[in-house]
Structure 1
Amino acid sequence: MAMRPMSANAPRNGRLVRVSAPSSPSTRLAWLDALRGIGALAVVAEHLLPWFLPALRPYWFNLGVYGILVFFLVSGYIIPTSLERHGDVRAFWISRIFRLYPLYLSVIALVLALAWWVPVRAEVPRDGSAVAAHATMLLDVVNVGGVADTMWTLSYEMVFYLLVTALFLTGAQHRSGELSMGFAAAAVVVGLVASGAVFVGGWPAYVSAGVFAAGVACVMWGRARKPAACVLGLMALAALLLSSRVPWLGTAVLAVMFAGTAIHRWERGTGRLWPVAVTTALVAIAPLWAIESGWWWVQPDVWLTTIVLAGATFAGGMALRGRRLPRMLVWLGLVSYSLYLVHHPLLKYFVAITGDLRQADLPYQAGMAALALAVVLGVSALAYRFIERPGQALGRRISGRDAGGLQRRTDPGVAGQDPGHDGVLGHQEGQVPDGVRDHVGQGDVVR
């Protein structure tokens, strides 16, 4: 993939800030891309190490959970302000749809096409509920496994979009601190009382798909927009609390995302920082007494260390936001969504060819790991170039926004972040209760 990294100086609060601008229709925030790049490396490492270099996998913190916390902080930081800055709900949803769905559907098609070789995971229902859940991306919150393991995190991204839209249209979008604390407190309570989904079976997927389709159509085309957004928000909350796989974890994720928004408001002088501290403390204790929290990564020392590292990484990114950052990290952030969706299926296919590498000699393991990483990065670059970018361009044409228009409407306080580039990453679905073991034993097989 031919890269054309550039840099430009943009005014910000009376001083010049160097902003990295990789090949994209508008200037981007390099420090957010760098954070996505770090998160991407963490996620790939969490999937790669157990099968290629198991001796190097850390257990004093969890690489995957670290990655998801960093990425959800980034999404929380930029998504609501992107919507508020442009004030166009229709354009926001068009950008989201054309940002996420082209690659998402392509990966689904790939996994299904190769199911004769590497079967679709058993957690995916073999009925219409799987189609309904994949259509909305609300997979995890309606208790349906995704055809690609990492798709579960998109559920919480979609819930966040629905809630942010409702808050924006009802004028309650500035209550980020209260919302982050509320979701964090709810995570503690839900963990104490709920062992899993209250609503089970296929019907939550069907109902949510119907409400989602009708509601998003109304929001985009302006027919009863505010009531539709409120219904969508309530539906998202109900699914999060009553039909998600791990209610306390999903609720904690939303707390982290709204904490990211609260940080942005504090930075702009329109909010306070202490709600973020309260949220952090509540999220830190949320799994300690949870009914369903038996994984190694929610043990107090591991969980707390992971949270501290993720928060420190985000704070470090903010501290460096006016500096030139490594181009490789910025580029990894640019292709992070492709990297997120394609890397796990590719690693499965790679291991299907090479066989179990866990008993191999270390030099051979290292060589295969390097080769697998090169393949993943190459395919991610191609997916970004030929699937993501054309999809985003089509979304801009449909919504009537061009790159110049985005730059003209950009708030200098956020340096021209392209709302079509708010990517998301998550840790492996093998670390939520999907029946996937966290400590990989010698007799385990790649899922």
Structure 2
Amino acid sequence: MSAATSPPVSPSAVTSAGRLAWLDALRGIGALAVVAEHMLPWFVPSLRPYWFSLGVYGILVFFLVSGYIIPASLERHGDVRAFWISRFFRLYPLYLVVIAVVLALSWWVPVREAVVRDGSAVAAHATMLLDVVGIGGVADTMWTLSYEMVFYLVVTALYLTRGHERSGTWAIVFAVAAVLVGLVASGAVFGGGWPAYVSCAVFVLGLTGVLVGRLRTFSACALGVMAVACLLLSSRVPWLGTAVLAVMFAGTAIYRWERGTGPLWPVAVTGALVVIAPVWAIESGWWWVQADVWLTTILLAAATFAGGMALRGRRLPRILVWFGLISYSLYLVHHPLLRYFVRVSGDLRGEPLAYQLVMTAAALVVIIAVSAVTYRFVEKPMQDLGRRISRRCRGGPQGGGEVRVPGESTGDDRVLRHEERQVPHRVSDDVDQGESVG
């Protein structure tokens, strides 16, 4: 099919740089919110808000962005092998560097107590399925990567079985499941280290099948089933993990609505169900899921995402887009850095407000500087390498399992290539291979 006769491309994919940079701006907002959530209790506790949760707000924005862009990227290129290669080079290099640094400095600042001291921690970190197998990450923020990974595995299975276009339905299914799980489960059904070992074995074997191409669909389905089983049966907070998947599929449903290929009402239904999901958690007294706080946090995250979409045709603040550029680094490195900073500065909670603010500014400068360095020397080179390898895989004899979905064509990709020359580097990554929570 020629470019002239190909179906219209997603409005968010083929317009000006501003209509793609909004994704980075949202990531910047989400990253700064998470940094503030962890910084304020240690540095300026009097300024911490309790009428909504800064941290949950930030990760909800991240999850909506991932839900919006990840399936779109996979469908556009129709190549699961290239997708997973790009994901590995996008996520793992910095992740492994942070793990190495935290372990190397454990003589000074001990590894978190939530990290078990046996082989199950190694298995869980290897797959990133930390939270869904009940294992704490060496950096506190790594728990959210578990749900990113579950989403990737489920989306891959749906894509290869042609069930990926019913995003609204899947959003509602996971939202209903979150409500039901919140009613009956207060924690993991299966504990101990064996879920980490079993999931690691399935992960390695399944992804080998996906990458090599033999039994690709079977392997992807096995991975998807394993991911959902861990989500429901061995995750630390089952209702929350299930609600997160609902939110991510709601992001995909928004993308389909924007393209004119799906309705918007499932997003509203999903949102309403997620609001009432934390039944057990409310009874347990967790402050951030009290009805008013939880509802306010969800509404603020939804309003932020909607605001980003509304402004996608306009020029956005460069500093905000830049924070989105380094958001994965910000997300992963800030918590260990805060622990190191406090070890040097001492407990700041009882200090005068002026001194707290000065130390907060100093810590923020350190975090931003280190994040910029890790992006420049770890993230970006590895992303470039992953992009080159994934492009070779697309052009290889096996094609990575290409499945062109209805409404997509090689003409679409030509338009995207033209537009990528007009957008910043990180936004080009979105068009090329999707994006993560960071």
TM-score in terms of structure 1 length: 0.87
**Structure 2 counterparts to residues 222-301 of structure 1, below 5 A:** 222-290=213-281, 293-301=284-292
Report if aligned partners of 2:85, 2:390 keep a CA contact under 8 Å in 1: yes
Report if aligned partners of 1:12, 1:413 keep a CA contact under 8 Å in 2: no
**Distance (Å, rounded) in 2 between the aligned partners of 1:298 and 1:393:** 40
Q: Percent identity?
A: 73
Q: Deviations over 1:217-263 (max 9, x none)?
A: 11011010000000000000100000000000000000000000000
* Alpha carbons of structure 1 residues 93 and 124: separation in structure 2 relative to 1, 3 Å: same
The reply on whether 1:347 has 2:338 as its aligned counterpart is yes
**Distance (Å, rounded) in 2 between the aligned partners of 1:205 and 1:122:** 17
Pick one of 202, 207, 211 that aligns with 1:211.
Answer: 202
- Counterpart residue number, 1:317: 308
**Distance (Å, rounded) in 1 between the aligned partners of 2:32 and 2:216:** 39
**Distance (Å, rounded) in 2 between the aligned partners of 1:55 and 1:328:** 27
- Counterpart residue number, 2:5: none
- Counterpart residue number, 1:410: 416
**Distance (Å, rounded) in 2 between the aligned partners of 1:420 and 1:170:** 20
**Distance (Å, rounded) in 1 between the aligned partners of 2:13 and 2:57:** 33
Pick one of 126, 130, 138 that aligns with 1:135.
Answer: 126
- Counterpart residue number, 1:18: 16
* Alpha carbons of structure 1 residues 78 and 280: separation in structure 2 relative to 1, 3 Å: same
**Structure 2 counterparts to residues 83-102 of structure 1, below 5 A:** 83-102=74-93
SS at match of 1:117: coil
Pick one of 158, 161, 168 that aligns with 2:159.
Answer: 168
The reply on whether 1:43 has 2:41 as its aligned counterpart is no
* Alpha carbons of structure 1 residues 390 and 398: separation in structure 2 relative to 1, 3 Å: same
* Alpha carbons of structure 1 residues 58 and 412: separation in structure 2 relative to 1, 3 Å: farther
Task: Give structure 1 stretches of 5+ with no counterpart.
Answer: 1-10, 21-27, 426-447
The reply on whether 1:114 has 2:105 as its aligned counterpart is yes
SS at match of 2:17: strand
**Distance (Å, rounded) in 1 between the aligned partners of 2:174 and 2:13:** 37
**Distance (Å, rounded) in 1 between the aligned partners of 2:360 and 2:37:** 12
Q: Deviations over 1:242-294 (max 9, x none)?
A: 00000000000000000000000000000000000000000001113558753
- Code of the residue aligned with 1:190 in structure 2: it is V
Report if aligned partners of 1:166, 1:226 keep a CA contact under 8 Å in 2: yes
Pick one of 147, 152, 155 that aligns with 2:138.
Answer: 147
SS at match of 1:264: helix
- Counterpart residue number, 1:372: 363
SS at match of 1:66: helix
- Counterpart residue number, 2:168: 177
Cα RMSD of the aligned pairs, angstroms, is 2.3
How far apart are 1:411 and its partner, in Å?
8.1
Report if aligned partners of 1:246, 1:292 keep a CA contact under 8 Å in 2: no
- Code of the residue aligned with 2:28 in structure 1: it is G
**Distance (Å, rounded) in 1 between the aligned partners of 2:356 and 2:11:** 50
Higher helix share: 2
- Which stretch of structure 1 is more off in the superposition, 287-296 or 333-342? 287-296
**Distance (Å, rounded) in 1 between the aligned partners of 2:281 and 2:49:** 24
Report if aligned partners of 2:282, 2:290 keep a CA contact under 8 Å in 1: no
* Alpha carbons of structure 1 residues 420 and 171: separation in structure 2 relative to 1, 3 Å: closer
TM-score in terms of structure 2 length: 0.89
* Alpha carbons of structure 1 residues 291 and 143: separation in structure 2 relative to 1, 3 Å: farther
**Distance (Å, rounded) in 2 between the aligned partners of 1:254 and 1:15:** 24
Pick one of 408, 416, 423 that aligns with 2:436.
Answer: 423
**Distance (Å, rounded) in 1 between the aligned partners of 2:186 and 2:216:** 36
Q: Which runs of 4+ in 1 moved over 2 A?
A: 11-18, 288-294, 405-421
**Distance (Å, rounded) in 2 between the aligned partners of 1:419 and 1:153:** 23
The reply on whether 1:80 has 2:78 as its aligned counterpart is no
